[in-house]
A and B are shown apart, each in its own frame.
Chain A
Amino acid sequence: MSEINNFDTEEEKDNKSDIVSQKRLSHFLDIEYLSKPLILDILDLAESFAGVSGQPVKKVPLLRGKTIVNLFFEASTRTRTTFELAAKRLSADFLNINVDFSATKKGETLLDTLRNLEAMHCDMFIVRHPLSGAAEFISKNVSPNISVINAGDGRHAHPTQAMLDIFTIRKYFPDFKKIKVAIVGDILHSRVARSLIHALRIVEVPDIRVIGPKTLLPNGIEHMGVKPYVDMDEGIKNCNVVIMLRLQNERMDSSFIPDEHEYYNLYGFNPKRTDLLAKNGIVMHPGPVNRGIEISSEVADGERSVILQQVSNGIAVRMAILSLSMQPQRDK
């Protein structure tokens, strides 16, 4: 059994009361093993942090004296920046390391890079890596007083993105049990989709759909508890939330889809499709947006779009996750 996201003891996992005030996460690697009460508590805590950004002094002293390292083996703007802001608003010391361009280029192994950073007495690694399972691998190989936060590993998971997405969804639809959610696009290669599916299932969203051409829908995806659709109009009909995924250009070159034009016709969110949504339905996108490929500018900038709220919410949600994952009791 996986040890990821484990609590200090098994019993604590079942304790539904006041988890946030008493319990800590050792690492934050994947949504799959989190309980519903914990997810809701993280969202509540994020809610309380959301106010911090609006204050004249945008800081709370929760992580003062702690050192957090952004360890990014892959390019990122949004995720990297919001983690940095989250850490700084919690008063942590913060270090950005773009590993791809430094040590590994000189032949240093991943483990040696970690050992070196450990030797600098860091408290937490926020890791993004192009290989699935990299965050878990790192968590198994760091010393026990260091927490690892997964900021995206290969196609596997992007749990903080999923948390900020359901945080955003809850703002508009407080009762998860009454909504229909569709995820549209390249499900096959998407870590966002995988983590979102787990999160939506755990908070008991009754109707989760994935929409895309069969080449981009993994074989047997229904085993994850979602309904696959090839027809977008049918798939988004009466949905309260539609999450559009970014289509990467290289998919065209490797015969997943014929061209941008056909993709936009079949799966692009154009203004006409807005009418198919449920009343007050919202459109989301984890970014960066390819305008005119998966979503039209009218929709991306329109009243149904909550894309920029997602970005702002990302800071509060990441503050909640960072503060819960820091391990003061194990400090040396």
Chain B
Amino acid sequence: MSDMIIKSANIINPYEEISGVHDIYIKDGKICGIDEDNTKLSSPIIIDADDCFVCPGLIDLSARFREPGLEKDATISSESKAAVASGITTVCYMPDTQPIIDTPAQIKLVQEIFKNVDLCDVKILAGLTKNLDGERLSPMSELKHAGAIAFTNCFNPIKNSLVLRRIMEYASGLDITIFYQPQNYHLSNGGCVHEGKLSNKLGLPGIPSAAESVAVAEAISLSKLTGVKLHLCRISCAESLMLIENARAQGIEVTSDVAIHQLFFDENVINDFNSDYHVIPPFRTNEDLISLRKAISTENISAICSDHQPHNADARQVPFSSTLPGISSIEVLLPLLMELVDDGIIDIHKAIEKVSSIPSKILNIENRILKKDASADLCIFKREEWVFDTDNSLSLGQNNPFLGKKFSTQVVSTIRNGKIVYQKK
């Protein structure tokens, strides 16, 4: 770990924090000063960040690297490279690997692999129920003790409202945050696209918006009853946003996130059965898309994540409804976010806050901002045109509708704990 000076960095922080052009001094993995070299750095590496923006290292609230068990899709090594090349220094790891992460040993294993790869930090979400069966509580205390940062049942349904209540009560007693993917299993009924114009036209089984909003309403009511810390994952429709707004108005502390791609597409992209756009929750109506884009500037959507789900090429070599859902999106999180900034949808400080400071608060870890004494986790990026294609994509995921797209934001360098983990060639 070397000392470092980042010169003329145009700092992007949350509003209330330091911003604008400054020099950043890094020692022992921490930011030891901004503009004032008050410690004696020993032969520091000097990075000239002229014309670049510097923001806190991104925290991705949901990523799947598929290891262990699904290495034919991706590995922790391959996807960590993709993550740091995208300015992400911390990923929240989902438990739906094979086997499921629902024992302390599984947590240790994943932590160990990340440690060996040594590129980004991992925060593991353990299974909320054993084997994600939606019925038997996982040993939450043990798992928390082993390092689980929060708990989720991923896409798997909780058996019924009573089990959900018990889970929330138990978690609340241990001060555990639940990441809940709201989707009523029965109303989803095996659907694979939004129920509406397109599902009627294509004859594909649809998932109504109500499948999500019913689950949001249920989870909010139960969080009020149980006092659990509730984080609602991957919001996709306007009705859910209204329920969240209502809950917050009542003083219920609920946070939420949206997948970055959900801010770019509506149901119409599936027009010709294009399975590159098969995601869960599905892309919904244009009105929903507009509502989501508005909501990211408010507290109704607390954070934005990649919802990275890499698959190998075989996953899409079947008719639409048999394809595995998800987009390999970790590499486009920051470029797409900056596109929203360029389109005037969200202010740059708020945009960065939604992928750094706010996620750190949801996870209850050190506030991810650039200031004196903070960990030196940061991302240096440039406004420069480039084309994202198979030659420069590092993820093993083959399911990516963004390949071939031109972006105007490119990561130059990523630093984690004062160490350069990515440097653009």
**Do A and B associate with each other?**
yes
- Write the A148-164 contact mask toward B (1 if CB under 8 angstroms, else 0): 00000111110000000
| Contacting residue for B321 out of A110, A111, A132, A223, CB 8 A | A132
User: How many interface residues does B have (CB within 8 Å)?
Assistant: 21
Residues of chain A lying within 8 A (CB to CB) of residue B205: 155
Residues of chain A lying within 8 A (CB to CB) of residue B320: 131-133, 137
CA distance A141 to B319 in the complex (A): 11
Shortest C-beta distance, B109 to chain A (Å), equals 31
CA distance A71 to B201 in the complex (A): 24
Shortest C-beta distance, A318 to chain B (Å), equals 21
- Of B36-44, B133-141, B192-200, B374-382, the stretch lying at the interface with chain A is B192-200
Given contacts A109-B317, A219-B196, whether A132 and B201 have CB atoms under 8 Å apart is no
Asked if B204 and A224 make an inter-chain contact with CB atoms under 8 angstroms apart, the answer reads: no
Does A4 count as interface, using CB distance less than 8 angstroms? yes
Does A180 count as interface, using CB distance less than 8 angstroms? no
Asked if B200 and A133 make an inter-chain contact with CB atoms under 8 angstroms apart, the answer reads: no
Asked if B196 and A133 make an inter-chain contact with CB atoms under 8 angstroms apart, the answer reads: no
Asked if A129 and B319 make an inter-chain contact with CB atoms under 8 angstroms apart, the answer reads: yes
Shortest C-beta distance, B324 to chain A (Å), equals 14
Asked if B201 and A224 make an inter-chain contact with CB atoms under 8 angstroms apart, the answer reads: yes
Closest to B192 in A: A132
Asked if A221 and B317 make an inter-chain contact with CB atoms under 8 angstroms apart, the answer reads: no
Does A3 count as interface, using CB distance less than 8 angstroms? yes
Does B273 count as interface, using CB distance less than 8 angstroms? yes
Residues of chain B lying within 8 A (CB to CB) of residue A153: 203, 319
CA distance A109 to B205 in the complex (A): 23
CA distance A2 to B205 in the complex (A): 20
CA distance A131 to B320 in the complex (A): 8
Does A200 count as interface, using CB distance less than 8 angstroms? no
B:191-220 near A, CB below 8 Å:
195-197, 199-205, 208
CA distance A324 to B320 in the complex (A): 28
Closest to B204 in A: A132
- Write the A1-36 contact mask toward B (1 if CB under 8 angstroms, else 0): 111100000000000000000000000000010000
Asked if B200 and A131 make an inter-chain contact with CB atoms under 8 angstroms apart, the answer reads: no
Residues of chain B lying within 8 A (CB to CB) of residue A2: 271-272
Asked if B273 and A133 make an inter-chain contact with CB atoms under 8 angstroms apart, the answer reads: yes
Shortest C-beta distance, B169 to chain A (Å), equals 32
Interface hub of A109, A110, A129, A218 (most chain B Cβ within 10 A): A218
Given contacts A154-B203, A221-B200, whether A133 and B208 have CB atoms under 8 Å apart is no
Which range contains the number of A residues in contact with the other chain? 20 to 34
Residues of chain B lying within 8 A (CB to CB) of residue A223: 197, 200
Asked if B200 and A191 make an inter-chain contact with CB atoms under 8 angstroms apart, the answer reads: no
Given contacts A131-B320, A137-B320, whether A156 and B202 have CB atoms under 8 Å apart is yes
Interface hub of B196, B199, B201, B205 (most chain A Cβ within 10 A): B201
Asked if B317 and A157 make an inter-chain contact with CB atoms under 8 angstroms apart, the answer reads: no
Given contacts A3-B272, A223-B197, whether A110 and B318 have CB atoms under 8 Å apart is yes
Closest to A141 in B: B317
Asked if A131 and B321 make an inter-chain contact with CB atoms under 8 angstroms apart, the answer reads: yes
Does B322 count as interface, using CB distance less than 8 angstroms? yes
CA distance A2 to B202 in the complex (A): 12
Does A201 count as interface, using CB distance less than 8 angstroms? no
Closest to A191 in B: B203
Closest to B200 in A: A218
Shortest C-beta distance, A211 to chain B (Å), equals 16
Does A65 count as interface, using CB distance less than 8 angstroms? no
CA distance A180 to B407 in the complex (A): 52
Shortest C-beta distance, B320 to chain A (Å), equals 4
- Write the A197-226 contact mask toward B (1 if CB under 8 angstroms, else 0): 000000000000000000000111101100
Closest to B197 in A: A223
CA distance A221 to B206 in the complex (A): 13
Closest to A73 in B: B319
Closest to A137 in B: B319
CA distance A129 to B321 in the complex (A): 12
A:128-185 near B, CB below 8 Å:
129, 131-134, 136-137, 141, 153-157
B:293-327 near A, CB below 8 Å:
314, 317-322
Interface hub of B208, B314, B319, B320 (most chain A Cβ within 10 A): B319
- Write the A87-121 contact mask toward B (1 if CB under 8 angstroms, else 0): 00000000000000000000001110000000000
Shortest C-beta distance, A220 to chain B (Å), equals 6
Asked if A133 and B317 make an inter-chain contact with CB atoms under 8 angstroms apart, the answer reads: no
CA distance A132 to B199 in the complex (A): 10
Known: A156-B202, A219-B208. 11 other contacts (CB 8 A): A2-B271, A110-B318, A111-B317, A132-B273, A136-B272, A137-B273, A155-B205, A194-B201, A220-B200, A221-B200, A224-B201
Sample 5 A-B pairs with CB under 8 A, ordered by A number. A136-B273, A154-B203, A154-B204, A219-B200, A224-B200
In the A-B complex, the 5 residue pairs with the smallest Cβ-Cβ separation, listed nearest first, are A155-B203, A156-B203, A133-B273, A2-B272, A134-B319
